[in-house]
Chain A
Amino acid sequence: MAILELNNVTIRFGGLVAVNDVNLKVEEGTIQALIGPNGAGKSTLFNLITGIYTPTSGSISFKGKAVSGTPTYRIAAAGIGRTFQNIRLFTDLTVLDNVLIGAHSRGKWNLAGALMKLSPWVQKEEGALLDLARECLQMVDLTYRAFELSGNLPYGEQRRLEIARALALKPAIILLDEPAAGMNPQEKSELMAMIKRIRETGVTVFLVEHDMKFVMGISDRIAVLDYGEKIAEGVHEEIRQNPKVIEAYLGKGAADAHA
């Protein structure tokens, strides 16, 4: 069953059509990749799914329910976690606090809970959130950093922390925007293992990535975006040999030479 479904999704920014009439299905339990040249509209697509942008036309549904037009925080709480291409951690807070914030929608107690902080009910919830946060940190090997300021982490760990924070939502699907950007080969292969582990826990993964080796090594299906339009979709081999894809990446001449 498709957990996430995009139907004829389009968004315009003034004259620019950043995403043009895109149809896409992400199957539950898979690792789906989205690739395309710079400026193709990949991040914009993630922003559309998470409700940060509203589509000019078309619709998006998650677990069979329409989500376009719903506020971002509802979409997140419904089970769509995400990371950002330009890392957006709460840099002045600790690693643990970042993940606890990710677990926000798994808790209930608000202001009243804060004032009754010492009551057993609130303590119980805090304990549960803490457990969840710890699990998520463990998933990305960051437990040992729990009490450091997230802004002081090296780049690669910041990317992993973003993943942990998104996992704390207990999402059904997680959107990763260039998770491997800026990582060295060693970190990349560790990340691949982590993402596979995440999928093992039943979370669907939808990722944008420029590193082809990474994409080919990890994803079940790949979709290609160019100038806002979906130009191809399929498994590795289909994508690798698709002339449109080669053209989009290498230019027209290359495609002819290849053919």
Chain B
Amino acid sequence: MFLQQLINGIALGSTYALIALGYTMVYGIITLINFAHGEIFMVGAFVGLFATAILKVNYLVAILIAMVVCMLLGMFIERVAYRPLRKSSRLSALISAIGVSIFLSTLAQMLFGANAKGYPEGVFPVKQITIGSAEISTLQLLIIAISAVLMISLEFIVHKTKIGKAMRATSEDYNTAALMGINVNMVISFTFALGSALAAAGGVLVGLLFNAVSFNMGLMAGLKAFAAAVLGGIGSIPGAMLGGLLLGVTEVAGVASGFSSYRDAIAFAILVLVLLVKPTGLLGRKIQKKV
């Protein structure tokens, strides 16, 4: 029973982590909560759905297609809705981000209807594996495996490549990075691309896991992922991973112990608690604002 719930929690938490990474990376660089990030996740789920249902491709290919489409979408959104506001107040950028989010989810509702749609049967043949008393599905294992691969790749990009170095420099000190000749616009675009790709993969995986894709799936998932990012320490990549997993496990535990009607409130309760007790999160650094 315990093992069962733990695996359930980790599988769910991995998807939160994938989304949370996008929030944390963008926040790390331009201190903006990319409110539309949840909608990118939703679009990823839809692209995956169409890829499997219409193009009839393999689920792995579908994930790749979704990642590419969302990369472009993420960069486009940044270019159109955020870049013109980079010098304005943060309030303006945040309102613009909310606008994008509403726009995308309404558009999805108009194009794809209000009802949730399932992935075609047999895209991923689910088998149950029994380990001790726990019944674990191969889908859950797939989710955990793919998330792990993606996060390891991300760590590689951020720490071992030139652009990753530029990302870290920009997130350390935006102005200095610009002065040192780093192409900040490019770095920001790249960050949006990376984050969006991860969210898209998360979207397809969540679509498979719950077998439901709908226009409004982005709001709640996005908020929870944000809570996960804050729990881990906003701006910290390992923090987002840890926060996602912890949140997934907590939520599953909460539901298992009979709070299922408060399921969505759990994430917020955690969010508010973390912000009150340790605003820098579990792995975030304490930064004294320079005056």
Direct contact of A and B (CB under 8 A): yes
Contact A84 B291 (CB under 8 A): yes
Contact with B along A40-54 (1 / 0, CB 8 A): 000100010000110
Q: How far, in Å, is B88 (CB) from chain A's closest CB? A: 12
Which residues does chain A contribute within 8 Å of B133, judged by CB atoms? none
Number of B residues with CB within 8 Å of any CB on chain A: 2
Give the nearest-CB partner of A47 in chain B.
Answer: B291
* B257 interfacial contact with A, CB 8 Å: no
* B130 interfacial contact with A, CB 8 Å: no
* A13 interfacial contact with B, CB 8 Å: yes
Contact with A along B268-291 (1 / 0, CB 8 A): 000000000000000000001001
Q: How far, in Å, is B173 (CB) from chain A's closest CB? A: 14
Contact B288 A13 (CB under 8 A): yes
Inter-chain contact total with CB atoms closer than 8 Å: 7
Contact with A along B65-91 (1 / 0, CB 8 A): 000000000000000000000000000
- Contact residues, A46-83 vs B (CB, 8 A): 47, 52-53
Cα separation A146 to B288 with both chains bound (whole Å):
35
Q: How far, in Å, is A92 (CB) from chain B's closest CB? A: 9
Give the nearest-CB partner of B288 in chain A.
Answer: A13
Cα separation A67 to B202 with both chains bound (whole Å):
52
Cα separation A47 to B291 with both chains bound (whole Å):
8
Which residues does chain B contribute within 8 Å of A53, judged by CB atoms? 288, 291
Q: How far, in Å, is A173 (CB) from chain B's closest CB? A: 19
Give the nearest-CB partner of A86 in chain B.
Answer: B291
Which residues does chain A contribute within 8 Å of B291, judged by CB atoms? 43, 47, 52-53, 84
Which residues does chain B contribute within 8 Å of A43, judged by CB atoms? 291
Cα separation A43 to B291 with both chains bound (whole Å):
8
Give the nearest-CB partner of A13 in chain B.
Answer: B288
Q: How far, in Å, is A75 (CB) from chain B's closest CB? A: 14
Which residues does chain B contribute within 8 Å of A13, judged by CB atoms? 288
Which residues does chain A contribute within 8 Å of B288, judged by CB atoms? 13, 53
Which residues does chain B contribute within 8 Å of A47, judged by CB atoms? 291
Which residues does chain B contribute within 8 Å of A84, judged by CB atoms? 291
Q: How far, in Å, is B174 (CB) from chain A's closest CB? A: 15
Give the nearest-CB partner of B89 in chain A.
Answer: A92
Contact with B along A7-19 (1 / 0, CB 8 A): 0000001000000
Q: How far, in Å, is B49 (CB) from chain A's closest CB? A: 46
- Contact residues, A108-163 vs B (CB, 8 A): none
- Contact residues, A152-182 vs B (CB, 8 A): none
Q: How far, in Å, is A86 (CB) from chain B's closest CB? A: 8
Q: How far, in Å, is A209 (CB) from chain B's closest CB? A: 18
Sorted nearest first, the 7 A-B pairs with minimum C-beta distance are A47-B291, A52-B291, A13-B288, A53-B288, A84-B291, A43-B291, A53-B291
| 7 examples of A-B residue contacts, CB within 8 angstroms | A13-B288, A43-B291, A47-B291, A52-B291, A53-B288, A53-B291, A84-B291
B interface residue numbers (CB < 8 A to A): 288, 291
